[in-house]
C-alpha cells in the first residue's frame, strides 16, 4: 500500500499527539496513546501504532521536509520495517555519509567545527614539507573571508615549547590532498566518530573501516589509510586526532590490522600500494612504539603522552577535583590557579606527574579509567603490547607472503624471520609478566613497582584477538575471566570489584564498569571465534546488538557512543555524557564504531537470533498497525 501525505501537516499532528515532552523525538518516555492516524492528501486516515513505528514515521517525514518536499509517498513496508533491517539500513544509507569529512575548500567549514575549544580565528596548520597544501589553503584564506581562517605553516621540528604555544591558538591539522589531472584539488575523505569528535581519530578509524568494508565502502576505508600514511610522513605518527592539541600523542596502533582488511577485500592487489603501506607501518613502529620514551626496561612498550600541562580538549571544569588542593595551597581560586598554571606562572611537580599519566591515558584511547589513572606512564599494558605483537606478526606475514621474504626499508633488508623473532620475544615477556593463571587474567604490568596491577579489565581478551594466547590460556580466560566481565548487554570494560566504590570524591570513569564499548566487543568476538569459542562469540554479539536495538527502538533511532551494559541503557552519567544522543527528529550519524559494531555483529548471529532480535517490536503493535485506509 502506498499513500501520499502532506509533510508539514502530519509532522505537526504527530508531534502534538505523541511528543508529549516536546523534545522533537518520539520515545518510550512520551505519554501519548502510541496510536496515530496518518492522513493522506484525500483525507483518508491510516493507523500507525507503537513507539518505534511512530518514530520511524517522524524520521521519514522529516527527511522529506529536509529535502524540500511538500508531499511524500510512504509505504507500509517503509514504516513497518523490522528493526534489524531499519538499523542496518540507516547506517548504510545515512550514517556513514553523515560522518564523512574532508579538508578542502568545499568541506572546510564543516571540518573546522570544534566544540572542545574556542579561538578568535579558525587556525589551519600545514606540515612544514607540504608546499602544495600550504599554497592551496593560503589561497582559500585570501578568497574566503567568511571562513575566518588563518593558515600557519608548522616548523620542521615540533619542540615542546612550540607545542605548548599552540594551546593559545588551537586549530585543525590538514590531511592528504588529491590533485586530479585537471588540476582540481580535493581532500581525501575520512570518517569521524561523531558529535564533539569532529576529526579523524586513530583507533576509531580502524573499527569504522571494518564497518565501511562490510557495507561496500572500501574506497572510503582506503582513503582513511592514505590519511594515516600522510600523518606518519608529515606529523611523525598516527595522531590521536588531527587537531593541534593532539600533536604530542598517538593512539592504539591498529594500522597493520587495517591493512590486512583492506588487502584481503581489495579486488585488485597493488603491490606498490602495499609497499608504501608497509613502509608507513614499519616507520610508525620504529619511530614511535619502540623508541626510548615508549620502550621500557622490560622490553615491552608503554603509552606516553609527551609535552606538559592540561590536555586542552577537556572542559574547563574537568580537572577541578585535581586542581583544588593545589589552588588552596597557593591561596587561589581554582579558575585563577588554572590560568596561572596554563600560562606557566606556577610550576607544581606533582601536578606535572599527574598530567603525564593523564596524557598517556588519552593516548591509550581508554580515557578515562581507574585501571590507568595516575599510573598509565608506568604501565606495560596488555592492550598496547598485544597490538604491537600483532604488528610484528602482521609485518612478518606480509613480507613472507607478498614480498618473497625480503623487504627493503630505510636502507635495511628485513626478512619475515626478523619480525617473527621480535613477536616471539614480546609474547614470552608478556606471558612471564602479565599472565595470571590462577585468576585467568592477563594483567597490566607496572615496571616501576615490578608488579602486576591486578585490575580486571576487558583488555585481558586482546591476546586472543592478537593470536598470542596459547589454547590453554584461552580456555582459562573463557572459564574464569569471561563470567566476571559478561553482563546482560555485553562485556563490561572492567569488573565492579576492580573499579571500586564510586562517590562524590571518586566519580565514575567511562572506561570502567558498568560501561561497555564497541571496540572491546568486536575484538572479543573475533578472538573467541578464532580460538573455537564461536557459541560464546554469538551469545555476546547477540547481547550487544540487543542493547543497541533496544535503545534504537525505544529512543527514536539513537545509536550513541557507549552503553551501560549492566542496565542495557544509553543513559550514561559518566564524564562527557554520551555522544550521539543530542539530536531532534532524526540522527543521520549515529556514532562511528557503534555503527560498525552493529554491522559486524550481525555476521556472528544465526538467522534464528536475528529473528529473535526483531521480536523487540511487541506483536500486538504489529497486528494493530493498519495501512489499508479508513474514512
Judge whether 260 and 213 are in contact, CB under 8 Å: no
Q: Verify whether residue 367 is a known catalytic residue.
A: yes
Q: Alpha helix locations (H) across 365-470?
A: 382-402, 416-434, 462-465
Burial class (CB in 10 A: 0-12, 13-18, 19+), 275: middle
- Whether omega for the bond prior to residue 602 falls within 30 degrees of 0, making it cis, is no
- Largest Cα separation within the chain, whole Å, is 81
- 3-state secondary structure at position 35: strand
Judge whether 624 and 35 are in contact, CB under 8 Å: yes
What does residue 249 show for φ and ψ, rounded to 5 degrees?
-150, 155
Which of 367, 394, 538, 554 is an active site residue?
367
Q: Verify whether residue 286 is a known catalytic residue.
A: no
Judge whether 594 and 518 are in contact, CB under 8 Å: yes
**Dihedral (Cα; 368, 537, 561, 125), 10-degree rounding:** 70
Interstrand relation of 177-179 and 185-187 (parallel, antiparallel or unpaired) = antiparallel
Judge whether 151 and 134 are in contact, CB under 8 Å: yes
Burial class (CB in 10 A: 0-12, 13-18, 19+), 419: buried
Judge whether 304 and 291 are in contact, CB under 8 Å: no
Cα separation, 220 vs 503, whole angstroms = 44
Work out the angle at residue 226's Cα, subtended by the Cα atoms of residues 599 and 131, and round it to the nearest 5 degrees: 145
Which of 538, 561, 564, 589 is an active site residue?
561
Which neighbouring-strand residues pair with 187?
177
What number of H helices and E strands is found in the chain? 26, 23
C-alpha distances in Å from residue 238, one per residue of 49, 230, 231: 49, 9, 6
**Of 470, 481, 472, 490, which Cα lies nearest the Cα of 443?**
481
C-alpha distances in Å from residue 122, one per residue of 30, 107, 169: 41, 14, 9
Q: Alpha helix locations (H) across 83-217?
A: 83-90, 96-98, 108-112, 131-143, 160-165, 202-214
**Of 370, 496, 372, 498, which Cα lies nearest the Cα of 445?**
372
Active-site amino acid positions? 367, 561
Amino acid at each position: 500500500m502506498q499513500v501520499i501525505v502532506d509533510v508539514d501537516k502530519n509532522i505537526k499532528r504527530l508531534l502534538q499527539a505523541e511528543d508529549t515532552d516536546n523534545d522533537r523525538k518520539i520515545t518510550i518516555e512520551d505519554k501519548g496513546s502510541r496510536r496515530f492516524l496518518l492522513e493522506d492528501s484525500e483525507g483518508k486516515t491510516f493507523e500507525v501504532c507503537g513507539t518505534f513505528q511512530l518514530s520511524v514515521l517522524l524520521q521519514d517525514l522529516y527527511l522529506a521536509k529536509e529535502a524540500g518536499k511538500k508531499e511524500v509517498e510512504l509505504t507500509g513496508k517503509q514504516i513497518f520495517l523490522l528493526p534489524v533491517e531499519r538499523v542496518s539500513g540507516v547506517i548504510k544509507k545515512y550514517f556513514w555519509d553523515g560522518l564523512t569529512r574532508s579538508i578542502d575548500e568545499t568541506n572546510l567549514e564543516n571540518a573546522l567545527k570544534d566544540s572542545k575549544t574556542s579561538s578568535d580565528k579558525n587556525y589551519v596548520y600545514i606540515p612544514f614539507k607540504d608546499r602544495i597544501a600550504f599554497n592551496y589553503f593560503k589561497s582559500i584564506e585570501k578568497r574566503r573571508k567568511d571562513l575566518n581562517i588563518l593558515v600557519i605553516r608548522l616548523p620542521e621540528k615540533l619542540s615542546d615549547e612550540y607545542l605548548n604555544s599552540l594551546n593559545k591558538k588551537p586549530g585543525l591539522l590538514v590531511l592528504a590532498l588529491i590533485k586530479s589531472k585537471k588540476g582540481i584539488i580535493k581532500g581525501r575523505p575520512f570518517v569521524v566518530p561523531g558529535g564533539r569528535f569532529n576529526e579523524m581519530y586513530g583507533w576509531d578509524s580502524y573499527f569504522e573501516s571494518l564497518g565501511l568494508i562490510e557495507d561496500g565502502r572500501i574506497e572510503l576505508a582506503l582513503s582513511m589509510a592514505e590519511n594515516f600514511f600522510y600523518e606518519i610522513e608529515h606529523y611523525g605518527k598516527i595522531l590521536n586526532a588531527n587537531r593541534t592539541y593532539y600533536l604530542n600523542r598517538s593512539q592504539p596502533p591498529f594500522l597493520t590490522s587495517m591493512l590486512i582488511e583492506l588487502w584481503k577485500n581489495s579486488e585488485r592487489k597493488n603491490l606498490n600500494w602495499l609497499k608504501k603501506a608497509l613502509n608507513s607501518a614499519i616507520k610508525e613502529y620504529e619511530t614511535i612504539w619502540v623508541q626510548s620514551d615508549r620502550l621500557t626496561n622490560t622490553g615491552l612498550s608503554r603509552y606516553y603522552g609527551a609535552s606538559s600541562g592540561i590536555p586542552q580538549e577537556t572542559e574547563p571544569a574537568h580537572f577541578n577535583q585535581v586542581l583544588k588542593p593545589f589552588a588552596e595551597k597557593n591561596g587561589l581560586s581554582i579558575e585563577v590557579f588554572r590560568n596561572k598554571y596554563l600560562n606557566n606562572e606556577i610550576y607544581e611537580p606533582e601536578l606535572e606527574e599527574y598530567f603525564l599519566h593523564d596524557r598517556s591515558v588519552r593516548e591509550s584511547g581508554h580515557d578515562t579509567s581507574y585501571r590507568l589513572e595516575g599510573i598509565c606512564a608506568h604501565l606495560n599494558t596488555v592492550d598496547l603490547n598485544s597490538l604491537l605483537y600483532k604488528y610484528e606478526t602482521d609485518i612478518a606475514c606480509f613480507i613472507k607472503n607478498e614480498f618473497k621474504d625480503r623487504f627493503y626499508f630505510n636502507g635495511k633488508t628485513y626478512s619475515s624471520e626478523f619480525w617473527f623473532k621480535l613477536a616471539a620475544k614480546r609474547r614470552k615477556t608478556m606471558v612471564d609478566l602479565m599472565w595470571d593463571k590462577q585468576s585467568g587474567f592477563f594483567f597490566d604490568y607496572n615496571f616501576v613497582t615490578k608488579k602486576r596491577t591486578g585490575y580486571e579489565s576487558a583488555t585481558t581478551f586482546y591476546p586472543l584477538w592478537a593470536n598470542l594466547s596459547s589454547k590453554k590460556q584461552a580456555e582459562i580466560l573463557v572459564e574464569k575471566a569471561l563470567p566476571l566481565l559478561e553482563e546482560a548487554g555485553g562485556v563490561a570494560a572492567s569488573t565492579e570489584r576492580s573499579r571500586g566504590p564510586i562517590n562524590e570524591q571518586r566519580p565514575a570513569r567511562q572506561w570502567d564498569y558498568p560501561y561497555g564499548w564497541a571496540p572491546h566487543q568486536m575484538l572479543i568476538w573475533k578472538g573467541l571465534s578464532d580460538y573455537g569459542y564461536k557459541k560464546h562469540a554469538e551469545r555476546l554479539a547477540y547481547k550487544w546488538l540487543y542493547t543497541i536495538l533496544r535503545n534504537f527502538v525505544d529512543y527514536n533511532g539513537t545509536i550513541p557512543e557507549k552503553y551501560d551494559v549492566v542496565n542495557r541503557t544509553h543513559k550514561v552519567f559518566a564524564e562527557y555524557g554520551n555522544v550521539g544522543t543530542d539530536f531532534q527528529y532524526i540522527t543521520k550519524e549515529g556514532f562511528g564504531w557503534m555503527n560498525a559494531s552493529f554491522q559486524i555483529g550481525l555476521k556472528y548471529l544465526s538467522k534464528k537470533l536475528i529473528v529473535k532480535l526483531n521480536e523487540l517490536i511487541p506483536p500486538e503493535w504489529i497486528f494493530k498497525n493498519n495501512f489499508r485506509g479508513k474514512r
